[in-house]
Chain A
Amino acid sequence: MILAVLFANSVGNVLIERFNGVPAEERLHWRSFLVKLGAENLKGVKNEELLVACHKSVYIVYTMLGDVSIFLVGKDEYDELALAETMFIITAAVKDVCGKPPTERVFLDKYGRICLCLDEIVWNGLLENTDKDRIKRLIRMSFLDSLFYQIFNYLLLLLFDQTRINFL
């Protein structure tokens, strides 16, 4: 089970958090633990370099992406290796949405899409989608649809114009 996915900004404020199967009273403890872990270890770390820790019986994989730090907490089958895989997908998807490793502002600008990405990747503590391109397709439906729609309209117009010209 992926117990937590947490995004925080450079000063440790939480941007997105998803807990699965964690009692509400333990969340605060974990939130502050993760933020502290990030503050202690993420300074000067290269983009997307994965750091790993274990605390009690759970594993934590965390990294820095632009101005945003990302933490994954898992237990049992979601050990450090499975979490690293999940992190790889999350960072790729976020970069895709933001076009580059995001600043805090870009991240907040694309907040809705990032939530959708996360929803595609981790659902209720289980890893679901791992294909970056498929995730991209799934969350950009509106854009693609409108693109197809525009192209379709343009072709119709061309056809109509051609018919009119021929008619004339």
Chain B
Amino acid sequence: MAQPLVKKDDDHDDELDYSPFMGIEKGAVLQEARVFNDPQVDPRRCSQVITKLLYLLNQGESFTKVEATEVFFSVTKLFQSKDTGLRRMVYLIIKELSPSSDEVIIVTSSLMKDMNSKIDMYRANAIRVLCRIIDGSLLTQIERYLKQAIVDKNPVVSSAALVSGLHLLKSNPEIVKRWSNEVQEGIQSRSSLVQFHALALLQQIRQNDRLAVSKLVVSLTRGSVRSPLAQCLLIRYTSQVIRDMSNHGQSGERPFYEFLESCLRHKAEMVILEAARAITELDGVTSRELTPAITVLQLFLSSPRPVLRFAAVRTLNKVAMTHPMAVTNCNIDMESLISDQNRSIATLAITTLLKTGNESSVERLMKQITNFMSDIADEFKIVVVEAIRSLCVKFPLKYRSLMTFLSNILREEGGFEYKRAIVDSIVTIIRDIPDAKESGLLHLCEFIEDCEFTYLSAQILHFLGIEGPNTSDPSKYIRYIYNRVHLENATVRAAAVCTLAKFGFMVESLKPRIIVLLKRCIYDSDDEVRDRATLFLSVLGGDGTVDADKDSKDFLFGSLEVPLVNMETSLKNYEPSEEAFDINSVPKEVKSQPLAEKKAQGKKPTGLGAPQAAPASGIDGYEKLLSSIPEFAAFGKLFKSSSPVELTEAETEYAVNVVKHIFDSHVVFQYNCTNTIPEQLLERVNVIVDASEAEEFSEAASKALNSLPYDSSGQAFVAFEKPAGVPAVGKFSNTLTFVVKEVDPNTGEAEDDGVEDEYQLEDLEVVSADYMVKVVVSNFRNAWESMDEENEHVDEYGLGQRESLGEAVKAVIDLLGMQPCEGTETIPSNARSHTCLLSGVYIGNVKVLVRAQFGMDSSKDIAMKLTARADDLSVAEAIHEIVGSG
């Protein structure tokens, strides 16, 4: 509910004090609304009352169903008046009141009459109101008029019809799709606004028809677009077409790049920025393609308009994630933005600099950020802290200055989320950089001496209990922990007792002293603290009764083994009874969202609220789907699911893609089929797979799809058996077989008899990379050194002549299917040598790391030295076999 208007100070003069809505009350306004029923309508008076009603609605006031209905019926009487101003207000209030479907009927005839009026304003607004309030059945009645309106010579009417089309497309797509000829005409309109709306609507109508969108883009990129807004739309659609083309393996010169590049010279700044953004987001964009876009963005960094500076720095921030080297030229301009008055711009500049900065510039950057931090809001500070965390992981040698910075800001004022971000960062750094452990723990200890957040104190105490006992001098932390027992609330005291017990258990020399401290805790005022102290004394043998050394480690350091959410639910459901709560009854499986639900959510436009949580990894959904099919239930744990591989061209009648699911001794192909022909129903949809070029595979099971109506998707499966744990490879040819039944477009019913048919699909390959799961390693050096040197295999390869070093690096990454670490997939332009770090988990859950060093000579011949380390030497050798055979 909006706040009411505040009353102004009494010393203001009366003239200023006056507000037309002062003391406005809903009841009184509803009374006034009776004026609408007068036989002689007073347009001025009625307009005033409508304004008051609008004011109330805008203030968050809501009308009851009865009130709204009453007002709505009164308002409809105003259609008698010929006053255009009043009519305009009537249109607006009807939209605001959103009458229910049974009430709508009373105004539809008046509105339909207005739709054909000679006054343009009537036509435009009647269309808008009708489209807002009618349903599908009525829409078919007025469809003819709407089509006429789209090609109306008055741009206002035409725009109104087109924008209505955009809204109606969500509820009645079938009807709106029939308007494409008229909309196409709208694109040729001389009015820039009509062209903008027509382009948006036509793209929406044809969004599933890649060929049509491509044709649209081709025709418009020749320069017939007038308004900058429409030009921006065109750039977006062009990017989409480029993406689709690259997904479908079209190679050679990148299409439309020249168009995007030419837009960088457009007179409207909006278009220039959109084009620059589109170029930076191209898949596999080269530094040559990036350069003009970055140059343009760099110019905008010093623009006097904050919006342009923001747009430029936001785009550069994104580029810095994938091509940090390309952005370094803008660093000087971005450093000047650190002091920008607009804090959003300053934060983006800082986080970009943190990504692009090199090791030598870290200290200077930290100094600048220190001055900046004091005057920004917590939400911006969190972004900076997160950027510093990743910088620390990237440059482990710089941990000292970064840790000092974090500890300094930890002492300053700040809200819970901010403090939590800092604590999380320090914890991450301690975990990833062993040298940072001691100083990091001390900073955390100092923080809990004066921490107002119970949650954070408890979290830090827990972390201290795990890491503290393994440091060179564990005793120095005891003071900080024991202080908590005296100074804090019961939750923190209980956490401190646990931590003390962990120290006592892990450090034998401290045990007697810890027992003394724990004994003092058994007189605590809180039950939980007393209970814990007594329990731990017993575990540590302090009370001389039990010394359960074997179990105590599990008890103190073991994990719960069940997800906390499930544990919580089970405990809530448990009813106190004779039967004790059994932890084994808690389900261990983490519930994941069903696929269908995820899909629906993805399509729905969500509100402003919290951004959608990162989608749960697809593998969860796939695992659930496959385990629900009895034929595949016995295949064991799913190792990996590939991303979908298209088996059909973009504009064909049946769209099919395949997902390869890898199990230890099976491979399951999931064929996702979509029927795009309106007059056909497909039944018994199956895929016949010829595995003659995949000798190690033999077909084990298949599952057909029973029915596939128009515009729906379904899955057919074929499973193959292969030798267990062996990364078998092979090529499979696929044929889609099905029974086609004609569907009557009027009744929607399918004929009884069908015709058997088949459709040749593209071939499919299972390659070595399918047996590798990409795994991110935050600190490659640590992970590398922690692996046994014995399991290392080194070899050298000649990769032949290549256009660039980047091409060779990409080929090796794609061949192995591993995760590039620490941004080493990005290669500086003109580099002659490069080291790429890769990490992954090979089938059989074997962790493997690869260090690939590339060198290029003057004749562009590339040599590679590849070092692989794995938990198992045979896997390191297998990596070399893959490279050797690739």
Contact = CB atoms under 8 A, between A and B. Distances in A.
Interface of A: 1, 3-4, 9, 11, 13-18, 21-23, 26, 28-31, 40-41, 49-58, 61, 73, 75, 77, 79-82, 84-85, 103-105, 108-109, 111-112, 115-116, 119, 123-124, 126-131, 134, 138-139, 141-143, 145
B160 interface: yes
Given A31-B2, A142-B83, A142-B84, A50 B307 contact: yes
Interface stretch (B3-11, B493-501, B534-542, B576-584): B3-11
A139 B668 CA distance: 64
Interface stretch (B46-54, B699-707, B718-726, B812-820): B46-54
A123 B163 contact: yes
Contact of B121 (A40, A111, A138): A138
A123 B128 contact: yes
B273 A81 contact: yes
B47 A112 contact: yes
A84 B86 contact: no
B270 A81 contact: yes
Nearest to A131: B193
B140 interface: no
Contacts of B86: 142
Given A57-B611, A108-B19, A112-B89, A124 B167 contact: yes
Given A23-B607, A119-B92, A124-B167, A111 B51 contact: yes
Interface string B607-649: 1111100000000000000000000000000000000000000
Interface in B4-32: 4-6, 16, 18-21
B310 A82 contact: no
Contacts of A139: 88
Q: Which of B21, B47, B89 has its CB near the most chain A CB atoms (within 10 A)?
A: B89
23 contacts: A4-B608, A13-B4, A14-B58, A14-B59, A18-B58, A22-B608, A23-B607, A26-B608, A41-B342, A52-B310, A57-B611, A77-B233, A82-B270, A84-B270, A84-B307, A85-B270, A108-B20, A116-B89, A130-B229, A131-B193, A138-B124, A141-B84, A142-B83
Given A50-B306, A50-B307, A54-B344, A141 B88 contact: yes
Contacts of A40: 377
B800 interface: no
A81 B607 contact: no
Q: Which of A31, A50, A52, A143 has its CB near the most chain B CB atoms (within 10 A)?
A: A52
Q: Which of A17, A103, A143 has its CB near the most chain B CB atoms (within 10 A)?
A: A17
A134 B54 contact: no
A104 B18 CA distance: 10
A23 B609 contact: yes
B223 interface: no
Contacts of A41: 342-343
B58 A15 contact: yes
Contacts of A21: 605-607
Contacts of B710: none
Interface residues of A: mostly helix, strand, loop or mixed? mixed
A108 B54 CA distance: 12
B379 interface: yes
A16 B58 contact: yes
A85 B85 contact: no
Interface residues of B: mostly helix, strand, loop or mixed? helix
B193 A53 contact: no
Interface in B213-244: 227-229, 232-233, 236
A82 B271 CA distance: 10
Contacts of B54: 111-112, 115
A14 B2 contact: yes
B355 to A, nearest CB: 17
Nearest to B163: A128
A55 to B, nearest CB: 7
Nearest to A127: B229
A52 B344 contact: yes
A22 B609 CA distance: 8
A30 B608 contact: yes
Nearest to B167: A124
A122 B798 CA distance: 61
Contacts of A111: 20-21, 51, 54-55
Contacts of B715: none
Interface in B579-610: 605-610
Interface in B126-181: 128, 132, 155-156, 159-160, 163, 166-167
A82 B193 CA distance: 14
A56 B121 CA distance: 39
Contacts of A4: 608
A15 to B, nearest CB: 7
A112 B58 CA distance: 11
B123 to A, nearest CB: 12
Contact of A81 (B2, B19, B59, B232): B232
A131 B232 CA distance: 18
B85 A143 contact: yes
B288 interface: no
Nearest to B271: A81
Interface string B70-84: 000000000000011
A134 B608 contact: no
A124 B132 CA distance: 9
B274 interface: yes
A51 B342 CA distance: 7
A81 B307 contact: yes
Nearest to B122: A141
B311 interface: yes
B92 A81 contact: no
A1 B89 contact: no
A79 B270 CA distance: 11
Given A129-B193, A141-B84, A82 B229 contact: yes
